[in-house]
């Protein structure tokens, strides 16, 4: 008996000539691959149950999906190396921001954003614990309850966004990280580890655990079957075909003549990207342990830290490219991280060095670490900018991506004038390519503006906001 959909249509039968839809192409691709957003494959009125009005919820003024992401790096930044020397559209990139030169026109440097709720409170009542508070308040904007067991923070802005636009995609949000996760016990001065090892919160007591294994991220996005089944499926597929792409080439070739030139390029680019990512993940599984003798590397996690961070950024790129989600967070490394950077010649821990007390050698090393983090972010932005979206603009143009830290200067543990970047043009609703000083405003004011652009309704305040930031 042939499978039927609820309307009684034969699912096995090909669509009538001239009808081009995502379901038919997905059947040819196999369910292990999700499609990029292609204008040629946009639903017709007959299949437009999820279609959105132009400029509506979760879309840009051109009708393409609008994405939001939040990237966190630890321990602040060296102010003298971070902040540009002049404001405005013709601002010179500072030393730490030099890697952004290729995408400078799509990046804003935002000065004067604060997280005062990360401080010790009135009369210093909460005492020490700056790193836990910096991490835990970054996307919540609320004062954390100081406890190792009775955790209480706030709903993070990404989850406020996901509540309204999450139903438009296969995943309401995506949480990524490059740390092992800790949810219990005390970490920083009596604060629960949950505050430091999570960026996203679905409720004041429920953190959204970031996934740190790139293979699991990939399988979550593109895998098939119940947990534990996809490996067998992939093994069988590899025995039958040389690569995952072989299963879709025939359908892809037959479809080439029906796609417009822009979509042909996008499809080729996407399929190449899928093969590249899967190849890198498999390579990490085969050689990761051998490259790190004495320490067993979890399958899918490269032993080279640069490759690891880049691979997680690539997962985020694929998630946005396929419209698998429109809201994401990436906790690159938790606040207070004492990771060493041997790969760039720095053997001391990052946190230890951040307490530099103005010692020139230590300041120089922290500045190099700041630069390394920006280099990885810049690579991600360049790849976003090189990837075309459904409306012909780039993914970066149709995104809003925050990059920052909850500490301003790791030595002084301040939370004013935080290092903040806002990348992307928000589908044409932002004014990137400049350095703007806001004096002293809550960072949550920025989040309200971003939520407005994403279509989040009835959000008059968030955290410690005092209004919209404006002029972004």
Domain total in the chain: 2
pLDDT score recorded for residue 303: 86
Q: Is 16 within the bounds of a domain? A: no
On the question of pLDDT at 19 being above 80, the answer is: no
- Same domain for 290 and 389, yes or no, is no
Q: Is residue 127 part of a domain?
A: yes
pLDDT band at 445 (very low <50, low <70, confident <90, very high): very high
Q: Does residue 344 sit within a domain?
A: yes
Q: What's the mean pLDDT in 445-457? A: 95
Residue 220 lies in a domain: yes
Q: Indicate if 92 and 177 belong to the same structural domain.
A: yes
Of 255, 284, 300, which marks where a domain is finished?
A: 300
Boundary of a domain, candidates 266, 300, 334 = 300
φ/ψ (deg, to 5) at 176: -120, 155
**Residue 71 shares a structural domain with residue 207:** yes
364 and 437 housed in the same domain: yes
Domain that holds residue 91: 65-212+326-472
- The CA distance from 113 to 195, in Å, is 21
Q: Would you state the pLDDT for residue 219?
A: 76
Q: Do 135 and 75 lie in a common domain?
A: yes
CATH of the domain at 159: 3.40.720
Q: Is the pLDDT of residue 256 over 70?
A: no
Q: Is the pLDDT of residue 183 over 90?
A: no
Same domain, 332 and 457: yes
- 23 pLDDT exceeds 60? no
Q: Which of 166-175, 215-224, 404-413, 455-464 bottoms out in mean pLDDT, i.e. has the lowest?
A: 215-224
Please state the rounded mean pLDDT for residues 36-41.
62
Mean pLDDT, rounded, of the chain: 81
Of 253, 283, 300, which residue constitutes the final position of a domain?
300
3-state class (DSSP) for residue 11: coil
Average pLDDT over residues 282-292: 40
**327-360: per-residue pLDDT in tens?**
999 999 999 999 999 999 999 999 999 999 999 9
Asked whether residue 422 carries a pLDDT value surpassing 90, the answer given is: yes
- Residue 244 and residue 161 in one domain: no
Check: CB of residue 145 under 8 Å from CB of residue 468: no
Please tell me the distance from the alpha carbon of residue 94 to that of residue 280, in angstroms, as a whole number: 33
Contact at 8 Å (CB) between 162 and 173?
Answer: yes
In a domain, 34, yes or no: no
> Is the predicted pLDDT of residue 288 greater than 50, yes or no?
no
Task: Please give the pLDDT value at position 167.
Answer: 86
CA angle 195/437/364 to nearest 5° reads 65
Report the pLDDT value the prediction gives residue 36, as an integer from 0 to 100.
Answer: 65
Q: Is residue 110 part of a domain?
A: yes
Shared domain for 84 and 102, answered yes or no, is: yes
Could you tell me if 94 and 137 lie in one domain?
yes
Q: Are residues 284 and 349 part of one domain? A: no
415 pLDDT higher than 70: yes
pLDDT of residue 45: 34
Instruction: Determine which of 103-112, 215-224, 252-261 has the lowest per-residue pLDDT on average.
Output: 252-261
Domain assignment present for 18: no
* 372 shares a domain with 466: yes
Same domain, 185 and 155: yes
Is 201 part of a structural domain of the chain?
yes
Residue 110 phi, psi (nearest 5): -110, 115
Cα distance between residue 104 and residue 101, in whole Å: 5
Tokens of 201: 């919160």
Q: Is the pLDDT of residue 178 over 90?
A: yes
């Amino acid at each position: 008996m042939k499978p039927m959909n609820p309307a009684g249509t034969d699912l096995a039968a090909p669509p009538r000539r001239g009808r081009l839809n995502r379901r038919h192409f997905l059947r040819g691709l196999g369910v292990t691959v999700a499609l990029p957003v292609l204008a040629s494959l946009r639903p017709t009125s007959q299949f437009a149950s999820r279609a959105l009005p132009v400029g509506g919820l979760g879309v840009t003024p051109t009708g393409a999906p609008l994405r939001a992401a939040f990237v966190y790096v630890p321990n602040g930044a060296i102010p003298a190396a971070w902040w540009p020397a002049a404001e405005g559209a013709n601002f010179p990139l500072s030393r730490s921001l030099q890697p952004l030169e290729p995408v400078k026109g799509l990046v804003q440097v935002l000065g004067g954003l604060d997280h005062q709720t990360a401080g010790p409170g009135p009369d210093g009542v909460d005492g020490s614990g700056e790193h836990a508070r910096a991490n835990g308040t970054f996307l919540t904007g609320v004062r954390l309850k100081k406890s190792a067991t009775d955790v209480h923070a706030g709903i993070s802005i990404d989850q406020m966004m996901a509540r309204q636009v999450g139903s438009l995609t296969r995943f309401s949000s995506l949480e990524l990280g490059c740390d092992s996760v800790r949810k219990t016990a005390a970490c920083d001065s009596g604060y629960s580890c949950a505050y430091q090892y999570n960026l996203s919160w679905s409720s004041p007591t429920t953190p959204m655990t970031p996934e740190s294994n790139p293979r699991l991220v990939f399988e979550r996005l593109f895998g098939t079957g119940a947990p534990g089944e996809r490996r067998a499926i992939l093994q069988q597929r590899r025995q039958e075909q040389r690569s995952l792409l072989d299963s879709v080439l025939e359908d892809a070739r037959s479809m080439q003549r029906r796609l417009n030139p822009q979509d042909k390029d996008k499809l080729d680019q996407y399929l190449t990207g899928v093969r590249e990512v899967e190849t890198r993940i498999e390579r990490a599984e085969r050689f990761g342990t051998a490259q790190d003798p004495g320490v067993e590397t979890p399958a899918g996690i490269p032993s080279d830290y640069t490759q690891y961070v880049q691979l997680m950024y690539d997962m985020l790129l694929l998630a946005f490219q396929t419209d698998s989600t429109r809201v994401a967070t990436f906790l690159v490394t938790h606040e207070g991280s004492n990771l060493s950077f041997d790969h760039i010649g720095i053997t001391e821990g990052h946190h230890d060095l951040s307490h530099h007390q103005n010692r020139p050698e230590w300041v120089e090393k922290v500045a190099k670490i700041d630069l390394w983090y920006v280099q990885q972010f810049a690579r991600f932005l360049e790849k976003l900018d090189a990837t075309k979206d459904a409306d012909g603009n780039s993914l970066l143009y149709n995104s809003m991506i925050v990059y920052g830290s909850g500490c301003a200067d790791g030595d002084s543990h301040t939370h004013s004038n935080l290092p903040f970047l806002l990348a992307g043009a928000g589908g044409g609703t932002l004014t990137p390519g400049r350095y703007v000083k806001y004096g002293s405003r809550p960072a949550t004011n920025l989040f309200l503006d971003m939520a407005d652009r994403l279509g989040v309704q009835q959000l008059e305040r968030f955290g410690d906001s005092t209004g919209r930031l404006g002029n972004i």
